[in-house]
Amino acid sequence: MTSLTTKDIETVVARAVESEVKIVDHSLEPFAKLKTGCLGGHLLLTIRFKRGSNNREESQTFFVKTIPDSQVILDTFMDDSMFADEANFYENIAPLLIKEYNGDGWSPKCYLVNSNALVFEDLRIQGYAISLDHYLDESLLKAALTSLAHFHASTMLAEHRLGKTLREIFPNAFVEKLFANHGKFAKNIPVGFDAIKKMIEKFGMDSSLVPKMKDRIWEFTKMRKGKFNVLCHGDLWLNNLMFKNHGSVKCFMVDYQFLRYTSPFVDVSMLIYLHTTPEYRKKSELDLVEHYYWVLHDTLLQGSVKPPIPSYESMLRDYKDYRLIGMILGLLYLPGLYLPSDVLEEIHNNPEEMKNWFMGDRYGVIGFHLDTVPTYEKKLKSMVVELMEEAKIVFDARSV
């Protein structure tokens, strides 16, 4: 288990409490009984202290993220740079983003960064929690898109103030980890596309467009010259969104290991397509995009600097170009997340099962549940149909 030094504990309390304190004791324990992710350890830090001459003991809890303790994960698909890249984000990049930024927060406060641990405020004691439903209702969707727009706006404001892009300032900070020809974790993408191909064939459709889909997502997740680019979160699945649903709904995004510098609509399409149904999207997709745009627009207007703001029409055109990316990401992520809860828990909590899912016979698990769980089959079939309809439009248009 990760240990924190006395100096680490003192630093955390000094930054969190902002007054002179005397440390009484501290403890570390697992943050939850079951793991909900694979690329980090999660601990609860409790610090007991006294303020100044006050003899009354107080305590405060913090969330600690560490390097995974599983050697299987570290050896098989955890890239060496993942933890260091997130640490660099909180140590060097995030402070630039929030300097002179006047909007609501989009990430929890980070009180300590060291070589093997990140210490954050404990969002749970503020009423934040992960949604238990894969499909977010409209209030949660808009809260998440609001947080995302604030994050993207903070990039634009910082770059305008600094006179350089973040890519220029940190040329080695946003190396693609998913859609790349290097690194351990990227090796799971061919496994994911093989599963997509087999799902398409399972539902009696032609899978010949899958290589073009793969080429498109590899192209569109990179920075695009002449296009609108921002710092993107890159991993907006359910457990990386925390909501406070008391009064006005608020959202924080967590886990910044998959940062990339590209179109904001990689993030927007991923958020929408991982958390809504095809039926909902037909009715409300563009309303969600419009909500994102006007939050971005208004946040930029409130900043102390005034970067140029793209028009809604130009951003809507860009979003439509990226819609297919959201569909592909949905079919890379959701076949796992839609599995029965006991199966998903086994994958998250058993490194060998996780290794098999990411690097082995993923479709074997998917195919079994397609044949045995009607609700699972229905969800994935509707997504596959939607993907194939969009792919035919996209690639037929390109061939004209």
Per-residue pLDDT reduced to its tens digit, 257-309? 999 999 999 999 999 999 999 999 999 999 999 999 999 999 999 878 889 99
Q: Which of 77-81, 188-192, 384-388 has the lowest mean pLDDT?
A: 77-81
Instruction: Tell me the whole-structure pTM to 2 decimals.
Output: 0.95
pLDDT above 70 for 399: no
pLDDT over 50 at 121, yes or no: yes
In percent, how much of the chain has pLDDT > 70?
A: 97
- Say if residue 336's pLDDT is above 50: yes
- What is the predicted pLDDT for the residue at 68? 87
Q: Which residue carries 């860009």 as its tokens?
A: 318
At residue 400, the pLDDT reads 39
For 14-37, the pLDDT digits (tens) are: 999 988 888 999 999 988 766 656
Residue 327 burial class via C-beta count within 10 angstroms: exposed 0-12, middle 13-18, buried 19 and up: buried
Burial class (CB in 10 A: 0-12, 13-18, 19+), 117: buried
The CA-based angle 224-230-235, given to 5 degrees, is 100
Q: Quick one: 6 exposed, middle or buried, by C-beta within 10 A (0-12, 13-18, 19+)?
A: exposed
Name residues whose C-beta falls within 8 Å of residue 26's C-beta, 6 or more positions apart in sequence.
4, 9, 45, 46, 47, 48
Give the chain's count of helices (H) and strands (E).
15, 10
> Is the pLDDT confidence value at 54 over 80?
no
Pairing state between β 250-253 and 128-129: unpaired
DSSP code string of 343-392: HHHHHHH-HHHHHHHHHS-HHHHHHHHHHH-HHHHHHHHHHHHHHHHHHH
pLDDT at 226: 83
Torsion angles phi and psi, residue 378, rounded to 5:
-65, -45
pLDDT at site 398: 54
Tell me what pLDDT residue 367 has: 98
pLDDT, the chain, mean: 93
Task: Look up tokens 């969002």; give the residue.
Answer: 123
pLDDT bucket at 2, cuts 50 / 70 / 90 = low
* Element (DSSP H or E) covering residue 154: helix 138-162
Domains, the chain, ordered by start:
70-109+127-397 (3.90.1200)
Is the C-alpha dihedral spanning 256, 141, 218, 200 positive or negative? positive
| pLDDT over 70 at 379, yes or no | yes
Write down the pLDDT at residue 100. Answer: 78
Which stretch of 62-76, 133-147, 186-200 has the lowest confidence by average pLDDT?
62-76
pLDDT tens-digit readout, 147-169: 999 999 999 999 999 999 999 99
- For residue 19, the tally of other CB atoms under 10 A from its CB is 11
